[in-house]
Every structure is written in structure tokens, then in C-alpha cells.
Amino acid sequence: MVPTSRRTFLGGIAAAAASAAAVVSTPAAQGAVELSPTSRDAVWSRRGAGPLYWNTYGYNFPHDAPIPEAEWQANIDWLAREYAPFGYTMANTDGWVEWSTRTTPNGYVISYNDEWEHDWAYWKGYLEQRGMELGVYYNPLWVTESSLRDRSKKVLGRPDVAVADLVADGDLFSTKGAGLGLYWLDVARPGAKEYVQGYVRYFAALGVRYLRVDFLSWFESGTDAGIGRVGVAHGREAYETALRWMDEAAGADMMLSLVMPHLHEDAKLELRHGDMVRINADADRGGWARLSGGRQSYQSVWPNWHNPFCGFTGWSHRAGRGQLILDGDFLMPSTFSTDEERKTMMNLMVIAGSPLTIGDTHATIDGHGWVFTNRELLELNAAGLSGRPLFLNGRRYWDDPGSRDTERWAGQLPDGGWAVALFNRGDTETVTKSIDFAADLGFDGGATVRDLWTHSEQADQVGISVSLAPHTSRIFRVTPKTGRRFQAVFAAWGGGANFNNNHLHHRAIGFVDKLEAASEAPQVTFAVNSPTAGIRPIRYRYANSMGYRSTMTVTVQRVDGSTVAAPFQVGFPHLSAWDVWGTVPGEINLGRGLNLITIGRSSQDVGAINLNFIEV
């Protein structure tokens, strides 16, 4: 069962034996130091999967208008009645915000729309009374036209600076008519930092823990791939500054959802300063064409890929605990033609660790809300599942579209089990899709396989093979009979850590490489449940043909970032070739419940390894 309070927001030949055991030590004994951060690494992404919530888009888009307050209330009541018991405990506004012009003395909008009777605080309280919470769509870089015209509006903490002075002449983001303009702030102007951070803290003080920040590509480059020039290009430096300010102000109190980012430099800035990123074009009218159709190729600006199948696949190396939650946008089951397509929609979002965002409204759901209430699927989200497509080589998907399989996915759970999803994206042919547990997931001995839609299971299976008609899919939970082996290729990769399969005799589809000095803070994070606290045995399967003993640093933390075990170094003896794999035994201190075990190369480590798996 999924508790309603879960988120009120929110392997080859036999291994060669290592010649020496791992050394488990304190920092004082071996000089172990903390691993360098590679991302914002806030509690939101450390949980793994995205939140469950409802968004107003299903009203806004077809009406091309703000949602009326009465309709907002009707949807909240519907959400509380039908979906909050399943964990959908947040109601989130969306765009069409130009009609919000009433502001605080510091220029911050007081409600979603001027025609609404009630402000943010009222609706926060209304939701709280129903066991839910408020999410807000707004970009702290926006300045209302009403604030530009009223020089009494002063920057918070800077009474010497009028909000009107934060905007360069003509730097318009959008307008819906006279007095309804939104303008971009100039980060180089005095008071800009105070305004942006004050905006974030303004929402945080209202109890908002989810801020959806849109049109980031427009701010950075002033262009849209489908439109052309849309405004002023503020540049990469200004974009980084703006994200850093929001990050600092949000801290651990607020989740930052970054929408329409270009994701340049392999999402470098978004990783540092955000928790979640959109990876596909807008949901628009929904349906199969938006889920799987449209442009299949990569472009270097937003949206890098058109549909979530390709977007999730292309950015899956940046997903996982402590990295980025990948957002596939809003889910509107009413827009699909068949129930099988609706299941495919849900299966993809769950296996990829996306937020599960109800995009339909109470008036449009039309009996299709069942797709959001499969408790066995929701348990995967609650467990933090963030799966990956099967990788076929170590190249980036934008360089080699054949490097990852968009139709075969797997993800490992903290109990050592697995989720597997198989898809047929084709329009005409029935196909067979398969996963082999030994070759693909790296474990032997068979497993129990449970179909999460039919709620049926089979024991002693060595793989899964299913026949899929067009637009259909299957999703399974797989429980190995023996052992708790956690594969590095299905863990979270930070910094320069990367997938590869260019050496022989690894288990599963590959291993993680680039755990070396030339990589920027490379590390791998495993989510591991422990029924009790205490010292546990651990085995590391690795390769090291550097010619000398290499070391890596290991840390154990809780999801909230608190320390379970101080950093310690593990030694990995030299082996004869990179195709030879060794195992190093050791001990590790785990807390009761969920532990995040990170293995990485710190500034005090030497050498390099390839990491295949750990057994705990």
C-alpha cells in the first residue's frame, strides 16, 4: 500500500580473487575526505523519483486562458476526493500568468490571477485542510508591468532601488495587452540578486515547496527552436547567475523544477542548481503523437528531443538519486485512443522516475483516472525508482541514436529487486521484446516475475519475453531468488562517471568507467535498504589494470544528507588486464532503512577502476 502521507509533497567468467582485502578506516587513519559535490544534490532528487500532483494545464491549454478560481477549487476538491488517497497531494498552477498584476510592496504577485478573490496564502490553507499542499508556477526573473509603472515598489532589503530599475528598456518576455506585460530582470543591475532571492523566499515563506520555473531557454538565448527570435539573449553567464541565486534561496526547503532549459554542456548548470528538468516538448494536445511521435533526432537547443521516450533515453545518464529528476510533462489519459496506450503512458513515466502529473481536469478525465491509481506502480515511485533504457555502448545518445534502446528499460530498487518495462513504439507490427536476467541485469538463479497490471506472477524465471502489439507495453517487478547485488550501471552516476561495455567479462549490460583523475569528481550512488542498523559485509566487483593499487572513497548517507558512516577509502589491487575482474571484500556501516552508498574518486585517491557491482 502507498501511504497517503508518503509525500505530502510532495557479469562473464568467474571473477579473479583480489590479493588483498578492502581497508575500512576513519578519515584520520587514511586521510579520506568527502567526495566533491557534482550536483545540487538536495533531498528532492535524493529521493529518486519525481512527485505525484495535479497541474492546471489541462484547463489552461485548451482554453488558452488562466484557470478561473471556481474551476481551480472544483479540481482541488476532486483531487482530494479521488487521488490524494493514492499520494497525489499537491495542486500546482501553470502558465497564463500575465493577468496577475497585483503585487506586494516588493513587486511579488499575490495571487495566480487578478480575478481570483483569494491569494496564495488562502489556497495554501485550503489545501492544507485537505491534507495537501500548493505548488506554484512562476519565474523569479519576471517583473510585472504594474511594478514597472509604480516606482513605490522597492526591492526587498534595498529600499534605495525601485523594482522598475531592474529591467532594461524593451526587455519584454510576454504581454497579453495593455498593462499585462512581463519583463525579464537584468541580473547585472543593483538589487537584482535581492529581488530574485526574495521572490523564492516569498513563496517559501507561504509554505510553497515546489516552484516550477519556466521559459529558461528564452532567458538564456532569446530564441525558440519553433519560433525563432523571441527576445533578448541574456547569455550563459547571466543564466548561471540566475540559477545560482534561485538555488541559494531555495536551499533544502524548496524543489526547483526547471522548464524549457537548453541543457547545454551536458546539463552542467541545471545539475548544479536544479532538482528536476523538462526533457521533451510541451504536452500540447497530448495523445500518442506527443508521447512517442514527432522529431526523433537530437537538436542542441530546447527541446533536445520532441517526445519523452527519446528525451528520457537521451538524458538517462544524468538521472538518478542526487542527480536530476527527468520530467516528461503532463499526463492526459483522455487524449489517448486506447487503454493500452494509457498504460504505456503510465509505464514510461514510472520506469523513468518522472513526476506523475495529472494533466486532465475533473471535467475531462472521462473515466480514465484508473490509470493513476495502480498501487503496485505507485509503490515503485514511492521506492524512488529511476530506471534506464538498456545501454548498448558508451557513446552519448545524441552522437549515436543506436547507443540506447528506447523500448527496453530496467531499474533497480533499494531492496535489490528490479522493475522492467518493455514497449512497442511501432505503429503497425507486433514485436517480441525480451530481457535476460543474467546477460542484461547481471544475476543468476532465477527470479519471481510479477506483472503489475494483471497482478499475476511466475516463479523461477530466468528472463522476460513478451509479444507486444503496436503502442502497447508491459511492466514487471522482478525479485531475484538469492543475493543482494546492486549493479553500477543502474545506479546514479555523478560527475564524469560513465557507462561502458568495451571490456569483456562484466556482469549485466556493462560497467561504470571514468572513475579516474581525468574525470570531474566521478562517483556512483547506490540506494540500499537495510532492515536494521549496523556493520554489514560488502563486496566490490571491479577492474584495475593501472599497474598499481588504486583507491576509491566510500560514503554512506541518508536521503536527508545526514551521515551514516564517515568517508573511508577502499583499496583495489592491480589486476592483469582490464578484461579481468576482481572482488574486494570489506565491511560497511548502514543505518536502518534507506542508505545512499556512494563510491567515488576524491582528491586523496589514486589510480582508477571500472566498477561492475556491489553486494551488500
- CATH number of residue 513's parent domain: 2.60.120.260
Asked if the model's pLDDT at residue 24 lies above 80, the reply is no
Q: Where are the alpha helices (DSSP H) in 65-215?
A: 69-82, 120-128, 145-148, 192-205
Say which amino acid occupies 141. Answer: L
The radius of gyration of the chain from alpha carbons, rounded to an integer in Å, stands at 25
Domain boundary among 485, 518, 548: 485
- The total of structural domains in the chain comes to 3
What percent of the chain stands above pLDDT 70? 95
Q: How far is CA 15 from CA 181, 540, 581, 583, 600, in A?
A: 65, 11, 5, 7, 22
Q: Torsion-angle region of residue 151: left (phi > 0), alpha (psi -120 to 50) or beta?
A: alpha
Mean model confidence pLDDT for the chain = 95
Q: What is the pTM of this model?
A: 0.95
Within a domain: residue 530?
yes
CB atoms under 10 Å from CB of 547, counted, come to 8
- Residues 541 and 523: their CA atoms lie apart, in Å, by 15
CB atoms under 10 Å from CB of 517, counted, come to 11
Asked if the model's pLDDT at residue 22 lies above 50, the reply is no
Same domain, 77 and 225: yes
Q: Which pLDDT tens digit goes with each residue over 409-447?
A: 999 999 999 999 999 999 999 999 999 999 999 999 999
Of 375, 393, 607, 373, nearest in space to 500 by CA: 393
Of 159, 142, 129, 279, nearest in space to 203 by CA: 142
Asked if the model's pLDDT at residue 6 lies above 70, the reply is no
Q: Which pLDDT tens digit goes with each residue over 251-277?
A: 999 999 999 999 999 999 999 999 999
Within a domain: residue 209?
yes
Asked if the model's pLDDT at residue 108 lies above 60, the reply is yes
Asked if the model's pLDDT at residue 25 lies above 60, the reply is no
Same domain, 516 and 575: yes
- What is the average pLDDT across 103-116? 98
Same domain, 537 and 597: yes
Within a domain: residue 173?
no
Q: Where are the alpha helices (DSSP H) in 106-161?
A: 120-128, 145-148
Same domain, 530 and 395: no
Same domain, 434 and 403: yes
Give the domain extent around 107: 43-138+187-383
Residue 57: in which H helix or E strand, if any?
helix 57-63
Q: Which pLDDT tens digit goes with each residue over 346-358?
A: 999 999 999 999 9
- Catalytically active residues, by annotation: 214, 275
Same domain, 605 and 462: no
Q: Which pLDDT tens digit goes with each residue over 364-394?
A: 999 999 999 999 999 999 999 999 999 999 9
Within a domain: residue 239?
yes
What is the grid cell recorded at 192? 537584482
Q: Torsion-angle region of residue 563: left (phi > 0), alpha (psi -120 to 50) or beta?
A: beta
Within a domain: residue 148?
no
Same domain, 257 and 378: yes
pLDDT of residue 3: 32
Domain boundary among 440, 455, 485: 485
Q: Which pLDDT tens digit goes with each residue over 571-593?
A: 999 999 999 999 999 999 999 99
CB atoms under 10 Å from CB of 69, counted, come to 17
pLDDT of residue 23: 35
- What is the average pLDDT across 483-487? 95
CATH number of the domain bearing residue 425 = 2.60.40.1180
Same domain, 228 and 353: yes
Within a domain: residue 490?
no
Same domain, 334 and 401: no
Cα of 509 vs its chain's centroid, Å? 23
- What is the average pLDDT across 243-248? 98
Q: Which pLDDT tens digit goes with each residue over 145-167?
A: 999 999 999 999 999 999 999 99
Same domain, 69 and 197: yes
Say which amino acid occupies 327. Answer: D
- What is the average pLDDT across 449-476? 98
Within a domain: residue 124?
yes
- Residues 504 and 13: their CA atoms lie apart, in Å, by 9
Same domain, 433 and 293: no
CB atoms under 10 Å from CB of 184, counted, come to 25
pLDDT of residue 483: 87
- What is the average pLDDT across 47-68? 98
* Residues contacting 346, CB < 8 A, separation 6+: 331, 356, 371, 372, 374, 377
Cβ distance 167 to 131 under 8 Å?
no
* Residue 224 phi, psi dihedral angles, 5° rounding: -130, 130
CATH number of the domain bearing residue 68 = 3.20.20.70
pLDDT of residue 4: 32
Q: E-assigned strands of 220-274?
A: 223-224, 228-229, 255-258
pLDDT of residue 147: 98
Asked if the model's pLDDT at residue 320 lies above 60, the reply is yes
Asked if the model's pLDDT at residue 19 lies above 50, the reply is no
Question: 158: helix, coil or strand?
Answer: strand
Within a domain: residue 321?
yes
Asked if the model's pLDDT at residue 17 lies above 70, the reply is no
Higher pLDDT, 401 or 482: 401
What percent of the chain stands above pLDDT 90? 94
Domain boundary among 485, 512, 528: 485
Same domain, 578 and 455: no
Q: Which pLDDT tens digit goes with each residue over 464-480?
A: 999 999 999 999 999 99
- Residues 68 and 48: their CA atoms lie apart, in Å, by 34
